[in-house]
Amino acid sequence: MILEDAVTGSPVPSSEPSRRGVRPSRRSETLAKIDLFRSLGPQAIAILDTQCTWRKYSRNEWVVEYHEATTDVFFVLSGVVRLKIPAASGREVLFKDLDAGGFIGEIAAIDGEPSATGILAYTDVVIARMPRGVFRTVLDHHPDVRDQVLLRAAKIIHALTDRVRDFSMLDVRHRIYAELLRLAQPKAGAENRASISPPPTQAAIAARVSTRREAVAREMKALERAGLIERTRGALLLNDTVQLRRMIKRACTGDDTDFDVEFV
C-alpha cells in the first residue's frame, strides 16, 4: 500500500503489517498523544496516523520477537511494553519497560540495521508501527523532532555506559543496589528517600542485572533487615539512597563518597 508523505506529499511505502495483534475496531488513538510529535500540526499528525499500522496486543503477547528483522519504529499509545534482549546463554535480559507515550526502534530506523530487541506486551497495549521511511522524513523536515531523538539517543548511550561500568566493576549484590536506585523516583519532601511504584518483581530485577531470582530475594531481605528498603502497598521504598550509593562506591574503590547513579 502507498501512502502520502506527511511533509512533502510524495508517496512512501508502508511497512508490512504485523500478523500478531488485532486491528482496533474503531481507532480513537492518535500520534498526537506522543510527546515526540508535539511540534507537528493537526494535519501532519492526521496523515502520520494513516501511515502507521495500528494493533492491539494482549498481555504477554509478542509485538516483535527477537528473530524479526525490522527497522520500523513502535509507539506505545496505551499500556506498557517490556523490552528484552537475548543473552548468549539463552537467558533473557530485561532492558527496560516502556510506558504509554514511549517509543522504540528509532536507532534501527536511523542506521538501517534491524534491532535484536524483543518487544513484549506487559499489559494490554495499543501500538502504532511506523515505517522507517516515514520516520526518516519526519526527522528531515522537523528539527524539533530530530533534536528530541538525538537527546534520547544520548541518554541511551549514557545509560548503557553505566551498565557496562556496573558489570565490569560490581558484583551481583551491588548491581542490585544500583538498579534499585535507577528504578526509583525521589520522594517529594523526603530527603534521601525514594520509591519504586509499582514495585518490581524479583524476577524482573534479576533479568535487569543478569542474575537469578534467588540472589535478588536474598539481597532484598538483607536490605529490609538493615532498614534500607521497605515494602508498602503498591510501592518499594528506599529509605536511605545516600547509604546505598556509599555501599556501591565502597565496593568499587573503598571510597565512601557518593556513587553517581541517576534517577531515571
Strand partners, 194: 186, 238
Whether residue 264 has pLDDT greater than 60: no
Question: What is the dihedral angle through the alpha carbons of 132, 137, 139, 145, rounded to the nearest 10 degrees?
Answer: -100
Q: What confidence category does residue 8 fall into, taking pLDDT thresholds of 50, 70 and 90?
A: very low
Cell of 68: 524479526
Average pLDDT (7-18) is 43
Residue 225 has pLDDT above 90, yes or no: yes
Q: How confident is residue 27, by pLDDT bands cut at 50, 70 and 90?
A: low
Nearest to 244 by CA among 192, 166, 177: 177
Third-level CATH fold of 170-253? Arc Repressor Mutant, subunit A (1.10.10)
- pTM tops 0.75, yes or no: no
Grid cell at residue 127? 501500538
Equal fold, 2-142 vs 170-253: no
* Residue 228 scores a pLDDT above 90: yes
Pick the CATH number of 2-142 from 3.30.9.30, 2.60.120.10, 3.40.1170.60, 3.40.50.620: 2.60.120.10
| Structural domain spans, the chain | 2-142, 170-253
- Torsion-angle region of 129 (φ positive above 0: left; ψ -120 to 50: alpha; else: beta): beta
* C-alpha cell of residue 1: 500500500
